[in-house]
Amino acid sequence: MDLFSRSWAALRTAVAELPDEDFARPSGCTGWLVRDLVCHLVIDAQDVLITLVTPADTEPTRDALTYWDVTETPPTGEDPLDALTVRLAAAYEEPWLLKFHLDDVGSAAGRAAELADPGARVSTRDEVLTTGDYLMTYVMEWTLHHLDLIAHLPHVAGPPAQGLARSREMLEKIAGAAFPASFSDADALLVGTGRRAPTDAEKADLGEQAARLPFVLG
């Protein structure tokens, strides 16, 4: 729960401190500007709030690792929901409105997570998870999107080291193999999820594992 809070607080702080001109810069998400990514974070925060008040009384069907649907195809930005996010983000017009909405809904999602019972069961996407496992999936979500946020903004602070390390650990378990020790946690996540292609040196370190990349989480 603490790792969820730290990862989410760091991401919201990074967005709150962005100058207006950064909202029109590209993000690490294909087809999305920074403003589109921030709009997606608002929707994510709403999903957290909805899920935390959607209890389930059956056994969990997924956990923090099996929650993810894994494919080999990176997003193109042409998915209808992705396109809807772009249109919704444009409707805000002014960056301060996006900042305000993320702070408002995001703060509520953070408080709800802190108050939640990690052993309780919740329902989302027609699956059942413990609250603790559900929130741990969002450590991965916040960490990856924090990396997306700073992809073209080198002056912006990155995600917390603990969130990077835990997300790498989860991705390695999902992949069924560890990334080379030469990879930083951030590089393991970026290359592992297809956010950037590995360099020649990284391919050499990956060996046969390079052919299995990427592990696109959805």
pLDDT tens digit string along 51-71? 999 999 999 999 999 999 998
Chain centroid to CA 144: 4
Band of pLDDT at residue 73, cut at 50, 70 and 90: confident
Q: Is 149 exposed, middle or buried (0-12, 13-18, 19+ CB in 10 A)?
A: buried
CA angle 167/105/53 to nearest 5° reads 80
Retrieve residue 187's tokens: 């590089």
> What is the structure's pLDDT at 192?
97
pLDDT tens digit string along 147-171? 999 999 999 999 999 999 999 999 9
> What is the structure's pLDDT at 76?
73
Retrieve residue 103's tokens: 């702070």
> What are the Cα distances from residue 160, in Å, to 27, 112, 140, 167?
19, 21, 12, 11
Would you call 17 helix, strand, or coil by DSSP? coil
Q: State the chain's mean pLDDT as an integer.
A: 96
The count of other CB atoms within 10 Å of the CB of residue 83 is 13
- What does the alpha-carbon distance between residue 23 and residue 149 come to, in Å, rounded to a whole number? 10
